[in-house]
Structure 1
Amino acid sequence: MASKHILIAFVLVLTSLVLNGNNYTVEAQLTTNFYSSSCPNLLSTVRSAMQSAVNREARAGASILRLFFHDCFVNGCDGSILLDDTSNFTGEKNANPNRNSARGFDVIDNIKTAVERACPGVVSCADILAVAARDGVVLLGGPNWNVKLGRRDARTASQSGANSNIPAPTSSLSQLISSFGNVGLSTRDMVALSGGHTIGQARCTSFRTRIYNETNINSAFATTRQQTCPRTAGSGDGNLAPLDIQTPANFNNDYFKNLMAQRGLLHSDQELFNGGSTDSIVRTYSSNPATFNSDFVAAMIKMGDISPLTGNSGEIRRNCRRLN
């Protein structure tokens, strides 16, 4: 009888170890060929739809990249950012970092519709977002990589998590390092991923304080931005400016060159080159685009591994905006 109890205890301990190691096990289940049999046309279907979206508006590539970033930073890359609010469900779309600024949901809807036609009920919205983010980068001239797949969609969302976990444009360098570190991303990952700001635009309300009150900014650059972003809060809040004033629709390393010239649009951008520990990384990326591209790809793959749902967890949503 004693030996039986020992065996049961051993099994319970072993089970506990397996469950506690679940994060590592889950990540290992993501593979680049996950849909090779169940949805062989997935990648070409997503690429075609993203090509159409970028042809209509180059900014779409940046918008989808940002959606993926904001999704992964809240309970992992689980498609939770795509869920609409309802009378009995509060999602992440109206959290402070997303309200009136997160966009591209219609693009994901269009891709999901096309994928459902090709292979209904097979591909998660979380995986569609991951592939679309990669394609947006590539279509704007950035590096290519094989996206790891096999995520499932969350049945929950966290507005409070979005409010607290997504780095704000007012973040200090130490706050940025901490925010990225909290999800397992290194300081170098953080700088490389910030390089995604080589494409896209920001709202006046996100950079007003910087262009009027900060001193570590190129004066001509500040004057240019002030022309479309009035000093008074509430006036022109939604007016847009490119994050990269030189080549806003091309994925390259100009973002880092701008930081060295004190032309970072957001406070959090310029913090990467402001006499701190990340100055040397910025210098490297500004002079070596191949190194930036390589590090960006590595960081994107690493970010895509944050707490995915796999196996029987979550669901495969039929509509990315709502639960099944």
Structure 2
Amino acid sequence: MSALNDRVVVITGAGRGIGREHALLAAAEGAKVVVNDNGADADGRGGDPAFAQAVAEEIRAAGGQAVASAADAATLEGARELLELARGEFGAVHGLVNNAGVLRDRMFVNMSEEDWDAVIRGQLRATFAPARVFAEHWRNESKAGRRPTASVVNVPSTSGLIGAVGQSNYGAAKAGIAALTVILAQELGRYGVRVNAVTPVARTRMTENVPGIAEMVAAPADPEAFDVYHPGNVSPLVAWLLTEDCPVNGQVYYAKGGEIRQFAGWSYAWTVDRGARWTVADIDKELRSRG
């Protein structure tokens, strides 16, 4: 397999779950991979660099090229460390997958400021910081006459694009990531940088303990049956978006099992124009019937 031959790709949150699958497939497709993961628990607490190191070692044992990093992707300092590691080890960087994230589910009326801030930081800021640092690098390369063919892949969630009870912090961050994706695609395309997103539906640390969800995404009892919720099912779409000649930009996809969907984004469902200022009574009459 050679879809990513000689591409240098940085993947955050790559020590376990979906991120690990992204890293393994990218390497199998020929990419040189920076495996980033600080080894924190799903709620963002703690840390262990061994997870990133294990994935990098697994890639190297299979004949691929990889280096591990435990840098904090939610900070500009950590993002710069990732950029310099990729350039120092492999001479360039062509792709960034912002997969790192944390989860602290609470009903909104029970949510603490800490739980809100931790998830916004661990999701939205962990997408902002690497994207900001890498985008600046690619812009500078473009202005210096070395136009890149670079790709950023972000990770929203149906919790943000459709909604999920108990995940207001997570959903708000994920909706922000989708919006950021569309805006960055508009801003960075002029520099040779494509920005897209993949919304995964798969079995991960973040789903295995959620009541009702854990049972739904469990592996099938029959080992020969297609495992719809295996995290590796999401990775081929991410890898395609990282390829040098991928034609799409500013798209938000959904991936589950063998299924791929494209989100249409916010759109107008209907328009009513009175041609003059509304009264409250007229609005009530018009909009009540529309629901």
**Higher RCO (C-alpha under 8 Å, 6+ residues apart):** 1
TM-score by length of 1: 0.27
Higher helix share: 1
TM-score normalised according to structure 2 size: 0.29
**As a proportion of its length, which structure holds more strand?**
2
